[in-house]
Amino acid sequence: MKGTQIFLDHIDGQEAAALVVDGRLEDLIVDSEAFAPGTIFRATVDRPVKGQGGVFVSFPEGRGFLRQIKGVCGGQNMLVQVTGYAEEGKAIPLTTKLLFKSRYVIITPGAPGLNLSRRIRDEELRDALLEYIHGGLAPLSYGIILRSSCAAADFEDVLEDAKTMLSVVRAVLEDDTAESCQLLSADSPHHMAWREWTTEATVEQKVGCFHSGGVLDLLDALNSPKVCTNSGSYFIEQTRALCAVDVNTGVDGSLASGLKANIAMARDLPRQLRLRGIGGQVLIDPAPMPKKDRKLLDSVLKAAFRQDDVHTHILGWTALGLIELQRARTRPPLSLGNKSMGS
């Protein structure tokens, strides 16, 4: 089916949202029992230990880790926010730099000022939007970033969204609870779909729409490590230490065919990692190709990941001819198993 569709349903009793564009699954958000990025706690610092590169903090529901934190002492209470999903057996990654994200705005309490997404390039629109929002909110108590979705929005809707989020920020920052506790839950998958998928779309939200809308058929492909492209195939296999990506050309083993297969993989890989909820270290074993074309493959890979919302650092080529990536763990690992629908 042509066009953009958003499906809001459940998988195995967990709330889920799917974005389908022209019949292809582009994004998938599934709820998890783990604390999702965006969750905010008032936590207590454990006794610092030298050589850790950070400190552990505790809250009633668990334990987390703050990197490169200075000037804190054991027993101190502080506000922290979950930045990603923890690896099995490891503490939850946290930060003290709080962000409050909504459909049109991001509130940054620690970075004052009113800023606008660079993706909005129309200078007249930029000036008009900044003037309108500043006039409606001045004086600004906290930093505000106007997201790219503001470009197609009514200014009044943007202003109301900002006011709503500012009230949430004040409630969290002005909370005077002394003991450790959870102050803010992360957005649910359905709310995240509204927040992040801002292009015009048909929205389906009846119970069972994943089945009736063909989403389950699209999800079946994610149960296999093999991904087919128009120039070959590649395999995505997760281990405890890393995710391995192996590119194959098929019957044509020429170097030219290898380059085509690698480029096809590079363009599709961000989508596959996003759908499968894969983060951490990723190693790509490209198909054999001319060494002189590595820069071309690098540029295609970088361009593809620039379009992805999940931060990915391309570290480069290893001595063994592999490409190393480091990807944020902002999605829970996908585990579909035997899918059942309904709430």
Which amino acid does the sequence have at 43? A
pLDDT tens figures, 273-304: 999 999 999 999 999 999 999 999 999 999 99
pLDDT at site 336: 55
What is the CATH T-level fold of the domain 224-327, as seen in this structure? Ribosomal Protein S8; Chain: A, domain 1 (3.30.1370)
Residue pLDDT, tens place only, 115-172: 999 999 999 999 999 999 999 998 888 999 999 999 999 999 999 999 999 999 999 9
- Tokens at residue 105, please? 């705005």
Residue ranges per structural domain of the chain: 4-31+193-215, 40-95, 100-187, 224-327
The reply to whether the predicted model has a pTM over 0.75 is: yes
- By C-alpha distance, which of 281, 266, 275, 268 is closest to 312? 281
Q: Which residue has the higher pLDDT, 74 or 227?
A: 227
The model's confidence at residue 240, banded by pLDDT at 50, 70 and 90, is confident
User: What's the rounded mean pLDDT across residues 235-249?
Assistant: 94
CATH number given to 40-95: 2.40.50.140
Mean pLDDT score of the chain: 92
Reported in sequence order, the residue ranges of 123-231 that DSSP labels E, i.e. its strands, are 143-146, 181-184, 202-204, 226-229
How many angstroms separate the Cα of 112 from the Cα of each of 7, 134, 170, 292?
37, 13, 15, 46
Q: What is the share, in percent, of the chain residues with pLDDT greater than 90?
A: 81
Asked if the model's pLDDT at residue 252 lies above 90, the reply is no
Q: Check residue 341 and give its pLDDT.
A: 47
Q: What is the pLDDT of residue 214?
A: 95
- Overall average pLDDT of the 21-44 stretch: 95
Residue 180 has pLDDT above 80, yes or no: yes
d(CA 98, CA 136): 23
pLDDT (average), residues 315-320: 96
Q: Could you say which architecture CATH assigns to the domain 100-187?
A: 2-Layer Sandwich (3.30)
pLDDT at 26: 97
Place of tokens 């003991």: 179
**Position 161, amino acid:** D
What average pLDDT does range 184-211 have in this prediction?
96
Please say if the pLDDT value at position 343 is more than 60: no
Confidence check: pLDDT of 217 > 90: yes
Residue of higher predicted confidence among 87 and 296: 296
